[in-house]
Amino acid sequence: MRYILKIVFFYLTIVMVFSTYEGADAEMKLNYLPESIGVWTRPESPQIINSSNIFKYMNGAGELYLGYRFDHLEVFDYTSENQENILVELYFMETSDDAFGLLSLDWGGEPVSFDGFPAKSPDQSLTSWPRALYGGGLLRIWSDNLYIRIMAFNETPASRKAVLALGKAITANQKTGPEPELLKFIAPHVDSGWKLRRDRLGFFRSYVALNTIYYISHENILDFDLSTEAVIAPYEHIAGVGELARSQFLLVKYENHARALKALNHFHDAYLTDQKKDFTENSPIKGPSLFKIEDGWLGYKLIDNYVAIVFKCPDRKSARAIIDKNEAKIGGNHAR
């Protein structure tokens, strides 16, 4: 009997400890959200959204967030008697990479900086990235593993002030997380005159996110899952007055070489159905594979556990140059 009582006591103690911890954690999260801002007031507790109810909360967009290793979402609705609401959404992601990825889906807006939370970070690969962007009543923030959306349903001078004040309060105790390591593998320039449009670069892990930036297929033909990391980056080339060419460079990192090879095979079979494959598992080629298709030249190459693909190049030479330059960047970063 005493043994059974000891077990019951032990489990009750564990439950109490975890309940206390969760309560403290919730209180910590609420501490950086003021109860009121201007004429707006928030409820005492947030609406909690996780993978089980995210599709009820956002019709059609849930899959996008789940593709970024989404943990949970806390929603606060600030209300006022004579002003329209201000919605605060705190997306808790697994890593800083995932929060950066959500911000990278749209670089539009005015860069914003708060005291102690810069709009730019000193340790970046391609020059600095904005950390917060504001436009049309919507403030979006990348703050370590937290992606934040603060939206005024009616933009006024007062609501803009309140939205920015909320952003400052939330980020005051947040770390400045690093950018995804994969961004350091993207070349800012290619020797043949191609220049990266860094304001259109996107980081992601799912084909759903890729398709919001550059549509490839309604199916997962590159075998994306939460273990993959990918960057899509447009390059532009100005050949003369009014002559602008734009190509898309895609770099995907897989867990190992075997997975990368399988994904490249899948991509070729689905996307290049009429083109002959010039590589096998036992006979890798040194240069990129290049193909002339309807919308220009496409090139790809398997680089250890990476797959590099370039789309819509105006000529064979440009497709090869973009892949070769980025391959050299990958090799240089691995050598460090």
**What is the C-alpha to C-alpha distance for residues 141 and 28, in angstroms, rounded to an integer?**
19
pLDDT at 117: 62
pLDDT at 176: 79
Do 189 and 308 belong to one domain?
Answer: yes
Q: How confident is the model at residue 172 (pLDDT cuts 50, 70, 90)?
A: confident
Does 123 have pLDDT greater than 70?
Answer: no
Does 140 have pLDDT greater than 80?
Answer: yes
pLDDT tens track for 21-50: 343 344 445 557 899 999 999 999 999 999
With residue 334 as reference, give the H or E element that holds it. helix 316-334
Tokens of 190: 């290619």
Q: How confident is the model at residue 181 (pLDDT cuts 50, 70, 90)?
A: very high
Does 55 have pLDDT greater than 70?
Answer: yes
pLDDT at 178: 86
- Of the listed ranges 172-176, 191-195, 304-308, the least confidently predicted one is 172-176
Do 135 and 60 belong to one domain?
Answer: yes
- 219 vs 173, more confident: 219
3 domain residue, yes or no: no
With residue 39 as reference, give the H or E element that holds it. none
Contact 293, 319 (CB under 8 A): no
Interval 151-163 mean pLDDT: 96
DSSP 62-130: HHHHHTTTEEEEEEEEEB-SSS--EEEEEEEESSHHHHHHHHHT---SEE--BTTB-SS-SS-SSSPPP
Do 137 and 201 belong to one domain?
Answer: no
19 domain residue, yes or no: no
278 domain residue, yes or no: yes
Count of CB atoms situated within 10 Å of the CB of 312: 19
Does 288 have pLDDT greater than 60?
Answer: yes
pLDDT at 11: 37
Does 278 have pLDDT greater than 70?
Answer: yes
Domain boundary among 121, 149, 171: 171
pLDDT at 21: 33
Do 130 and 188 belong to one domain?
Answer: no
The boundaries of the domain holding residue 141 are: 31-171
Interval 149-174 mean pLDDT: 94
Do 215 and 91 belong to one domain?
Answer: no
Q: Enter the pTM of the model.
A: 0.85
Tokens of 166: 């909320």
User: In terms of Cα–Cα distance, which of 199, 139, 193 is closest to 164?
Assistant: 139
Do 229 and 321 belong to one domain?
Answer: yes
Phi, psi of 235 (to 5 degrees): -115, 140
